[in-house]
């Protein structure tokens, strides 16, 4: 019996002509690009998400014309990845449909119902945490917020972009390889008051602060909260961030990059003394050999001023949220593949 080929992932920034050549060769691809260049691609073995921000080998960049592509190498007919389109109901099967030995890359469109469903329910999905699930939330150029929707692309159906579905690529590994997920999160809960919400959603108005009725937008204004700091929930020692998109003072409403959940206890994060130094230190301590896939939050890109700067050797899309099993925000996540014959 022939030995299975090792699986590896290459990442590169390419143009549309190069991408179409790769699609027509039948390569398995995970694509990040502005919607304008994703439209009407040939059908093939690919999934995609809209985003024009990338961390390239040369540094962070905003680019509406080129695509950041992860190519899955080593694929054979016996271990071909499976590409799946999910809706708000079927997304609950993602962990059950993950390979018995391998990993899954998933892309969900920002601010969609499936984004909310995954954020709220994924920790309770059957078989969650049995097989690595990593991925990202697609978005738009920051200038287009409010005028365009984030979308995902489903390669097997030519030109199909969706704003209410998710796409996933389930990638088997040979038995001698192992995939592991790592998370870089700078934030922990601060010492400020406990904040709770009555309603789950991507915007927040009324809340309680230390048990007293309040409005989050008013609190942020009067307490002079640095909105670069996320709200943080402590889930049994796992810090989960909810990042502030904007404070709408006219309507006393706060727009969020991830949903807050009813009756969960939040506090604003502790300030980070030097964002860039802290980020690089944490990344240095966490990064390891064999990194194959990564994505970084758009807020890290903005607040760390990563345009033109490198995050060591980690490259990938700059996203509206990250997936490391469950939905995360204002983090960097990466997947390492260890083992193999090479």
pLDDT for the residue numbered 309: 86
Residue 111 within a domain: yes
Q: Tell me how far CA of residue 86 lies from CA of 46, 106, 107, in angstroms.
A: 15, 10, 10
Q: Of 243, 268, 293, which closes a domain?
A: 268
Residue 188 in domain = no
Location of structure tokens 């309507």: 251
DSSP assigned state of 80: -
How far apart are alpha carbons 219 and 225 in whole angstroms?
A: 8
d(CA 138, CA 52): 10
Structural domain includes residue 43 = yes
Residue numbers of the domain that contains 227: 195-268
Check if the beta carbon of residue 167 is closer than 8 Å to that of residue 154.
Answer: yes
Q: Which residues pair with 12 in a beta bridge?
A: 69
pTM to 2 decimal places: 0.91
| Burial tier of 14 (Cβ tally within 10 Å: 0-12, 13-18, 19+) | middle
Q: State the pLDDT at residue 285.
A: 66
- What element of type H or E holds 190? none
Same domain for 164 and 223: no
Alpha helices in the chain (DSSP H): 16-24, 35-38, 113-121, 216-222, 275-286, 298-303
Please give the tally of structural domains in the chain: 2
Q: What is the pLDDT of residue 1?
A: 40
Same domain as 145, residue 121: yes
Tell whether 199 and 332 lie within a shared domain.
Answer: no
Domain end among 235, 268, 301: 268
Does residue 149 belong to any structural domain of this protein?
A: yes
Question: 1 lies in a domain?
Answer: no
**Does 284 lie in the same domain as 264?**
no
- Digit-by-digit pLDDT tens for the chain (342 residues) are 456 789 999 999 999 999 999 999 999 999 999 999 999 999 999 999 999 999 998 999 999 999 999 999 999 888 899 999 999 999 999 999 999 999 999 999 999 999 989 988 998 999 999 999 999 999 999 999 889 999 999 999 876 899 999 999 999 999 999 999 999 998 999 999 999 999 988 899 999 999 999 999 999 999 999 999 999 999 888 889 999 989 999 999 999 988 899 989 999 999 887 777 787 787 766 665 678 999 999 998 998 888 998 877 789 999 999 999 999 999 999 999 988 764
Confidence (pLDDT) at 286 = 64
Query: φ, ψ for residue 149 (rounded to 5)?
Result: -100, 145
Q: Are residues 304 and 237 in the same domain?
A: no
Beta partners for residue 56, in sequence order: 59
Domain-located, residue 332? yes
| Distance from the first to the final alpha carbon of the chain | 19
Domain match, 214 and 290 both: no
**Same-domain pairing of 160 and 76:** yes
The answer to whether position 190 is within a domain reads no
Predicted pLDDT at 238:
82
pLDDT at 237: 82
- 133 and 17 in a single domain? The answer is yes
User: Last residue of some domain: 206, 234, 268?
Assistant: 268
Structure tokens at 232: 């943080």
Q: Kindly state whether residues 149 and 210 are assigned to the same domain.
A: no
The reply to whether 189 falls in a domain is no
Is the same domain home to 130 and 253? no
Statement to judge: residues 121 and 46 lie in one domain:
yes
* pLDDT recorded at residue 142: 92
Find out whether 103 and 179 touch, Cβ atoms under 8 Å. yes
Same domain, 101 and 167: yes
Residue 186 exposed, middle or buried by CB count within 10 Å (0-12, 13-18, 19+): buried
Q: What SS3 string covers 131-189?
A: CCEEEEEECCCHHHECCECCCEEECCCCCCEECCCEEEEEEECCCCEEEEEEEECCCCE
pLDDT at 306: 87
């Amino acid at each position: 019996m022939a030995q299975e080929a090792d699986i590896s992932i290459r990442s590169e920034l390419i143009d549309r002509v190069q991408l179409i050549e790769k699609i027509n060769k039948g390569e398995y691809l995970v694509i990040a690009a502005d919607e304008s260049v994703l439209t009407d691609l040939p059908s093939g073995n690919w999934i995609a998400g809209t985003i024009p921000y990338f961390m390239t080998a040369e540094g962070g960049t905003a680019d509406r014309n080129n695509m950041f592509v992860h190519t899955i190498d080593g694929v054979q007919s016996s271990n071909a990845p499976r590409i799946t389109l999910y809706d708000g109901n079927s997304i609950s099967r993602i962990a059950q449909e993950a390979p018995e030995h391998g990993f899954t890359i998933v892309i969900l469109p920002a601010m969609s119902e499936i984004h909310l469903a995954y954020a709220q329910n994924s920790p309770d999905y059957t078989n969650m945490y049995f097989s690595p699930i990593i991925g990202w939330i697609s978005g738009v150029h920051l200038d287009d917020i409010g005028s365009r929707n984030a979308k995902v692309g489903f390669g097997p159906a030519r030109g199909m972009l969706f704003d209410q579905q998710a796409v996933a690529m389930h990638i088997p590994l040979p038995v001698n390889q192992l995939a592991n997920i790592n998370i870089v999160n700078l934030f922990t809960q601060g010492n400020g008051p406990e904040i709770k919400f009555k309603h789950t959603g991507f915007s927040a108005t009324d809340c309680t602060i230390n048990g007293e009725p309040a409005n989050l937008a008013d609190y942020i204004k009067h307490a002079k909260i640095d909105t670069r700091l996320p709200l943080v929930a402590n889930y049994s020692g796992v810090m989960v961030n909810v990042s502030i998109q904007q404070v709408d003072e006219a309507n006393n409403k706060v727009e969020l990059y991830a949903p807050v959940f009813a009756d969960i206890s939040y506090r604003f994060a502790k300030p980070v003394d030097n964002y860039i130094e802290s980020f690089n230190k944490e990344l240095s301590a966490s990064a390891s050999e064999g990194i194959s896939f990564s994505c970084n939050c758009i807020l890290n890109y903005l607040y760390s001023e990563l345009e033109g700067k490198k995050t060591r050797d980690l490259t990938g899309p700059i996203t509206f949220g990250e997936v490391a099993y469950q939905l995360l925000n204002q983090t960097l996540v990466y997947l390492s593949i260890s083992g193999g014959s090479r």
